[in-house]
Amino acid sequence: MSSRLTVNLGLRWDLQTGPTERYNRMSGVDLEAKNAFGTQGAIAFPGVGGYSRNLWDTQYNNWAPRLGAAYQVTPSLVIRSGFGITYLPSNTGYFAGPTDYGTSMFSTGTLQQPYGPNPQGVPVGRFWDPTPLALAPGANPAAPINYGISEAKFDRHFKNGRAMQWNVFLEKTLAQQWFVSVGYSASKSKNLVNRNFPITSIQQIPASTLADWRSQYIQSNGVTNPATVQVPNPFQPTSGPPLGFSGILGASTLPRQNTLYPYPLLAGAGITWSRAWADYHSLQVRVSHAMTHGLQFDANYTWSKEIDNTDTVEDNQGFNSGGNGAVTNTAGNYDVTNLANNRHLGFSDMPHRLVVSALYNLPFGKGKDFDLRNSIANALLGGWQFGSVVTAQSGMPFSVRGANTNAAYGHPDSVPGVPLEVPKELQRWYNGATSVTLPDGRVITPQKNTFLKYYEGAFRGRTVTTPNGTVVPDVYWYGTVANTLNALRNPGRFNLDLSLHRDFRLSERFNLQIAADATNLLNNTQLNGTFDGNLGATNTARNTAKGLVPGMGNSDTFGTISINSFDPRQVVMSARLRF
């Protein structure tokens, strides 16, 4: 553009076809279509019923523009900025097992009779039975056996993940050797994966119906839950042989709640779809010193926040350890009817991270700043190189769960005004034999070799008192605690590594290097586990000895962490002969 302004433009087109199988032995889910039995939600077979051979439709509009610009304000000051869109690899990677691709319809198996209460059990089948095997129904949309299977299937309308990234940085050189960079970097991703997201949930039943059921539940003194009462199966014919649906759909009766789901024949199944998103914003600072006078230095600091509504699909596959302690995609843990309500701090959110690395050639020896003018002293003290890496970072969030018995939205309630941490005098390591009384009167005995930090009294489940005075868990309620809280985090980390190297030139051909490398030089404890965020089941009885009252979770381990840690100090001394 000019001698001071440089602009780079780019455009990329990505084509990712939906997965195919040689004989179309896969299946997905189409929530926009009706099935052969007249209800919403169909099993979609590639190459059948107008679908292409791909497991999901191929997108042809994945255009990815790129823009980069640099402007030289002064000879030592530059402004750089960039923007780009990237499409994520959606048709390979995370899922290696065939069941994630809906292959169960193509596998012959034994007749799935229940094991039964008899101690000897009920045989699955005998070799002399006329039909000992349940033959695979294959790609038959009208086969009842294909419905009622509890497995995850891909959304027929699955989309490729897209990441939009942008940044702007101010860069300055100081005294030629020093470089300073300060900038803002961010990304916004959409069409990310939620694996095995529940297709049906009690949240989908009208609130008026749930309110009526709740009244009936209370009037029955908590004995009868109208949602689970068995009613005639409306998906079976009123006369003649029953349809051979799988699971509970094949019975003559089924729970009442199943008759009111918007996708009733897909009850119990999950969908792997692309309706998740993630946002990342960061301030990034870098200070570096080029190798001069024996010193090379680089310091990087990031202040950031990551927010998403994704699950732990990457964690499950070993790609991203995250903060652990994540909730799973069960029907109660996420808001199924309004995905925006699942917005939370990501389990990989790390607000602060500082990494400092340095190399320094000690200034002793002939030709150095400090010539000791003694051949022996120069030989012993000269030529040594010192290296170090310092890492300091915040901990990542974990989730609170439990104390949510019978909840529609499976989170406990937050107790207003109650601190999230136990008093400082209780924050210590325990031996498994010491009982402590918490501020709410709860008496717990933390397990051996655990550290107590967070307070169970900040959270509660819901109970109701019935007409006969019995206290029972409430039903169909929505907990108020978010998936993650900024104040609930796993331990951060501070680590110092150090190295010392020296080369000895023995001859023209031979060189001897001796080295000492130390990791975790300070030998400080660096916990790598996660705090226990499980409150346990909702308590409904009073226990004076333990200080338990209705609504409390019954777990003694909430808010504790074990002794799992990164390695202690390790020093490796080595000698290497090069020739």
Long-range contacts, 319-322 (Cβ 8 Å, 24+): 319/94, 320/348, 322/346, 322/347, 322/348, 322/396
Q: 226: which 2 tokens?
A: 């109208």
96 pLDDT more than 60: no
Report the pLDDT averaged over residues 429-449.
95
What pLDDT was estimated at residue 120? 58
| Cross-strand bridge partners of residue 355 | 300, 391
Report the pLDDT averaged over residues 75-87.
96
For 139-159, the pLDDT digits (tens) are 999 999 999 988 889 999 999
72 pLDDT more than 70: yes
402 pLDDT more than 70: yes
For 1-53, the pLDDT digits (tens) are 688 999 999 999 999 999 999 999 999 999 999 999 999 999 999 999 999 99
Q: What's the CA angle centered on 158, arms 156 and 160, to 5 degrees?
A: 150
Report the pLDDT averaged over residues 322-346.
71
The overall average pLDDT reported for the chain is 89
Backbone φ and ψ of 549, nearest 5°: -130, 160
Q: 452: which 2 tokens?
A: 């107590």
292 pLDDT more than 90: no
What pLDDT was estimated at residue 324? 46
What pLDDT was estimated at residue 383? 78
Q: How confident is the model at residue 184 (pLDDT cuts 50, 70, 90)?
A: very high
Report the pLDDT averaged over residues 254-258.
96
488 pLDDT more than 60: yes
Where is pLDDT greater, at 257 or 127? 257
Q: Buried b / exposed e across 49-69, counting CB within 10 Å, b at 16+?
A: eebeebbbeebeebebeeeeb
What pLDDT was estimated at residue 320? 43
Report the pLDDT averaged over residues 430-455.
95
337, 199 in Cβ contact below 8 A? no
What pLDDT was estimated at residue 143? 93
What pLDDT was estimated at residue 511? 86
3-state secondary structure of 401: strand
315 pLDDT more than 60: no
Report the pLDDT averaged over residues 319-343.
65
Report the pLDDT averaged over residues 275-297.
93
Amino acid at 142: A
Residue 245's nearest CA partner among 113, 148, 137 is 148
Cα distance from N-terminal residue to C-terminal residue, the chain: 52
Q: What is the pTM of this model?
A: 0.86
For 338-390, the pLDDT digits (tens) are 888 888 999 889 999 999 999 998 887 676 766 667 777 666 777 788 999 99
423 pLDDT more than 80: yes
Q: How confident is the model at residue 100 (pLDDT cuts 50, 70, 90)?
A: confident
